[in-house]
Amino acid sequence: MAISVAILDDRQLSREGMRLLIGTQVDLRVDCEAGSASEGYELVAARRPDVCIVAQELEEIGGVPATRELIRRHPELRVIVASSTGSADGARAALGAGARGYILKSQASADLFEAVRQVMRGDVYLPPSLALASSNWRVLPSE
């Protein structure tokens, strides 16, 4: 059975690109896409994907608050926050909100596939540039 993925990003080109890339993998499928947090909440509730990729720079409320709300509503959901800029502080905030992964939009598509697979296995995914630094992090749940 393929891993079902939701994409929550207000940039249509980003959503389309991720959908096309994920569609090349036999074990992954995009189940739904949303351009806003409110639309994403509705689609995730209706479709119940395994993983949701959330843009950190989501215009409506931001990816970290959207992640927090998605996890509050669906504790079993695995969220990966995708960032255009990428920073240790951004990754800590995402993980503190309940995300299981953090990926840079500048990474290779193979990294995106691996992030989805890792969070489905129950692991945390961080880009290599942040993974080494993360051993010194103290991540606390955000309010």
Segment 4-34, tens digit of pLDDT: 999 999 999 999 999 999 999 999 999 999 9
| pTM for the model | 0.91
* Alpha-carbon dihedral 78, 81, 82, 88, rounded to 10 degrees: -130
- CB atoms under 10 Å from CB of 108, counted, come to 10
pLDDT 10s digits, 61-94: 999 999 999 999 999 999 999 999 888 889 999 9
